[in-house]
Every structure is written in structure tokens, then in C-alpha cells.
Structure 1
Amino acid sequence: MQSRRTFRIVMTIACFFFAGLNAYRIWTGEYESLDVFILVVFLVFGSIYLFILFRKDKPQ
């Protein structure tokens, strides 16, 4: 099966980038509650992708 490492790296960067954009919007004070929710969602997905990237595959 093809390695999806490059895809996971791109998705991790994208998730943290969009989380950063939402954090900047919250920092400047021009936000709604949906922006906070989206920030949390992007942080969770970025963390999941980081966990998948750095985990050790167990031998079967």
C-alpha cells in the first residue's frame, strides 16, 4: 500500500495554519462563537495527524 506520509504532513500543516488564522481572528477581537469552535476542531485534527505521524508502528 502506498505511503501517505506526505499527505499527512500537508494536512497537519494545513490544520495548524487554519487554526492559526482563527486564533489571530480571536486575538483581534473580531470573532463569533463559531470561530472558537473551528479553532478547536482544527487543533484537534492537527494533533491527531501529528500523533499518526510520530507513532511507532507495532510489529505484527
Structure 2
Amino acid sequence: MRNRRSYRIVVTIACFVFAGMNAYRILQGYYTWIDVFLLIIFLIFGVTYSYILFRQDRES
């Protein structure tokens, strides 16, 4: 199987950046329910990809 480490790193960073942008919008007070939903989704994906990356580091 191909090494997808660089892809996972990019996706993890992108998820946390988008989560941060949504969190900033929520903190400013100009948000809708979709902003809260996207914040939660991006955080879940970011944490999941981080877990996968750290798990692979420990295995090798």
C-alpha cells in the first residue's frame, strides 16, 4: 500500500484551519447553525487524522 502520510498531514492541517476559521466566526458573533456544525465536523476529522498519524508513528 502506498504511503499516504503527506496526504494525511495536509488534510489534518486543513481541517484544523477550517475549524479555526469557524471558531473565529462564532467568537465574533456572526454565525448560523451551519458554522457550529462545520466546526464540530472539522474538529472530528482533524482529531481522527491526527490519531491515525500518531498511531502509525508508534507502530513503526
TM-score, normalized by the shorter chain, greater than 0.5:
yes
- CA deviation map 1:9-29 (0-9, x unaligned): 000000000000000000000
Which structure's CA Rg is the greater one?
1
1:5 aligns with 2:5: yes
Query: Counterpart of 2:59?
Result: 57
User: 1:1-60 counterparts in 2 under 5 A?
Assistant: 1-55=1-55, 56-57=58-59
When normalised by structure 2's length, the TM-score is: 0.91
**How far did residue 2 of structure 1 move?**
1.1
| Unaligned runs of at least 5 residues, structure 2 | none
| Unaligned runs of at least 5 residues, structure 1 | none
Q: Structure 1: which 4+ aligned runs deviate by more than 4 Å?
A: none
Higher helix share: 2
User: Distance between the aligned counterparts of 2:59 and 2:8, measured in 1?
Assistant: 15
Query: Percent of pairs identical after alignment?
Result: 60
Letter in 2 for 1:36: V
